[in-house]
Amino acid sequence: MSYTSLSDKDKKEMMSRVGISSMEELFRTIPEGMKLKRELKVPSALTEIELIHHFEKIAKQNKYSEFLSFLGAGAYPHVIPYVVDYLSSRGEFVTPYTPYQPEVSQGTLQAIFEFQTLICLLTGMDVANASLYDGASAAAEAVLMAHRLKQKSNVLVAKTLHPQYRKTIKTYVRNLDIKIEEFGFSETGEIDFESLSSKMDEGTSAVVCQSPNFLGVVEDIKKISDLAHSTKALSVVVVTEPVSLGLLEAPGKLGADIVTGEGQSFGIPLSFGGPYLGFMACLKEFIRQFPGRIAGETKDVDGKRGFVLTLSTREQHIRRERATSNICTNQALCALRATIFLETLGLDGLKELAWQNIQKANYALEKLTQVEGIKRKFHGNFFNEFVIEFSGSLPKVESSLREKGILGGLYLREFYPELENCSLLCVTEMFKREEIDRLVKSLEEALKE
């Protein structure tokens, strides 16, 4: 299959105008010695039907869909209203270029402006950008931004920030004058305030926490922000599960200076990890150091309202090596999905969604802790994820659950050695009561074995 559109006659006419008699002449500027003298060793072309069969066969090698899975940890199974897929698959949204020419991109630009507004409303901040790659790289960009603003090297990062996000931050700062230091968590699952205070000093540019954190626990953002501000450091709050913002107070109202996170919960399917949707928002005084594309409202020459990409001088195509970030292509179509999702859910829908998440998760934990051998690990408040601890051999429990067709959450031993017998479970609105009951019953049986 070829997607070219030239007829034999077209080709002849064009070659004649260019002044060549063979296609090889087009490549005369490439030295002969460098040219490939053979065909590429890739499989012969497959037709559309063959492609569908080929990939359906590959898809059947995935067995994940056969399981009832309680995995969360930065990627959340949520409802996606059908209109999200329907609208975001329109060619006018899927196939345009970046909106550098605003006259022909008002659709994309207005959608971005709405997205930015929605993020500001949810996070309680003044300004949001048009998206970053994902929550992890967004957290890293936030650290770089704090460093540019404060010109100080130390950044304190909570151990309860998603392990992948912490690793990503470390990679991004490795060649810059930024030192990352981690501080631990307490018995409740919240951050250890003493540990944090003891590490803060005049050289701290930011304190980075996640809420709800990786262990599912909701942090006291006000207390953390006040502590950060006491040494003039910035409070960076990371939200990996933004559905929580349908219920919980906006970090901006609790003292956060920069709020960043993962928007996958907003209408983006699990997708085996990508593409996802990083978002970032900040206070307006930080705008010049803010990374990423931003759409702004303006008027045209006839006084009509329109939208444009603005404050572009922060970006790579103008500032080059002194740009606030090297980001060029971002995650526009994912941001569009999130925009449609949030506007479709609306105020009541989002609140209801958040409510169902916290209720179902609480129901699950309540029933689970009634099973002998299962303990609630952390007593801090949670949203839709929590940690349970098993007495006895976890691998045995794991395999027993697998046999019953269940994936019992994320086992934490590889991330926190001290949480060897613990699992992080996520329960969202997608789980029916009987599915939660099935989990409880299966665990009961597994622990008896």
Using CB under 8 A, which residues numbered 53 to 112 contact other proteins? 54-56, 58-65, 67, 69, 71, 73-75, 77, 79, 81, 83, 86-87, 89-108, 110-111
Select the span of 152-160, 287-295, 368-376, 387-395 touching other proteins (CB under 8 A).
287-295
One of 8, 21, 272, 417 touching other proteins (CB under 8 A): 272
Contacts of 194 (CB under 8 A, 6+ apart): none
One of 147, 159, 293, 377 touching other proteins (CB under 8 A): 293
> Please, what is the minimum distance in Å from the beta carbon of residue 248 to other proteins?
6
One of 8, 48, 418, 449 touching other proteins (CB under 8 A): 48
**How far is residue 376 from each of residues 163, 171, 353, 359, measured CA to CA in Å?**
22, 34, 24, 16
Q: Is 134 in the site for other proteins (CB under 8 A)?
A: yes
**Residue indicated by tokens 């976890």:** 394
How many residues of this chain bind other proteins (CB under 8 A)?
Answer: 200
One of 8, 151, 202, 299 touching other proteins (CB under 8 A): 299
Q: Are 379 and 189 in contact (CB under 8 A)?
A: yes
One of 187, 230, 318, 372 touching other proteins (CB under 8 A): 318
Given the complex with other proteins, which of 253 and 448 has the nearer CB atom? 253
State how far the Cα of 298 lies from the Cα of 303, in Å rounded to an integer.
Answer: 9
* Residues in contact with other proteins, shown as a per-residue x/- string from 137 to 176 under the rule CB under 8 A: x------x-----------------x-xx-xx-xxx-xxx
Q: Is 448 in the site for other proteins (CB under 8 A)?
A: no
State how far the Cα of 195 lies from the Cα of 207, in Å rounded to an integer.
Answer: 12
Token duo for residue 189: 């699952």
Contacts of 361 (CB under 8 A, 6+ apart): 382, 383, 384, 385, 386, 426, 427, 428
Given the complex with other proteins, which of 183 and 429 has the nearer CB atom? 429
> Please, what is the minimum distance in Å from the beta carbon of residue 8 to other proteins?
11
> Please, what is the minimum distance in Å from the beta carbon of residue 182 to other proteins?
15
Token duo for residue 364: 């699950």
**How far is residue 74 from each of residues 13, 135, 160, 213, 359, measured CA to CA in Å?**
56, 9, 12, 10, 20
Q: How far is CA 124 from the centre of its chain?
A: 19
Give the ranges where 291-331 is alpha helix by DSSP (H): 316-319
State how far the Cα of 434 lies from the Cα of 68, in Å rounded to an integer.
Answer: 11
> Please, what is the minimum distance in Å from the beta carbon of residue 326 to other proteins?
4
One of 362, 369, 438, 444 touching other proteins (CB under 8 A): 362
Q: Is 187 in the site for other proteins (CB under 8 A)?
A: no
* Residues in contact with other proteins, shown as a per-residue x/- string from 220 to 259 under the rule CB under 8 A: xxx----------------------xxxxxx--xx-----
Q: What one-letter code names the amino acid at 275?
A: P
Q: Is 12 in the site for other proteins (CB under 8 A)?
A: no
Q: Are 251 and 238 in contact (CB under 8 A)?
A: no
Handedness of CA 235, 238, 243, 248 (dihedral sign): negative
One of 197, 198, 230, 313 touching other proteins (CB under 8 A): 313
Given the complex with other proteins, which of 64 and 448 has the nearer CB atom? 64
> Please, what is the minimum distance in Å from the beta carbon of residue 198 to other proteins?
25
Looking at the DSSP bridge assignments, the partners of residue 375 are: 389
> Please, what is the minimum distance in Å from the beta carbon of residue 218 to other proteins?
6
Q: Is 27 in the site for other proteins (CB under 8 A)?
A: yes
State how far the Cα of 158 lies from the Cα of 368, in Å rounded to an integer.
Answer: 28
One of 201, 203, 355, 372 touching other proteins (CB under 8 A): 355
State how far the Cα of 390 lies from the Cα of 203, in Å rounded to an integer.
Answer: 42
* Nearest in space to 361 (alpha carbons), one of 262, 220, 184, 243: 243
- Considering only residues 388 to 417 of the shown chain, the ones binding other proteins according to CB under 8 A are 407, 410
Select the span of 52-60, 145-153, 197-205, 388-396 touching other proteins (CB under 8 A).
52-60
Given the complex with other proteins, which of 54 and 232 has the nearer CB atom? 54
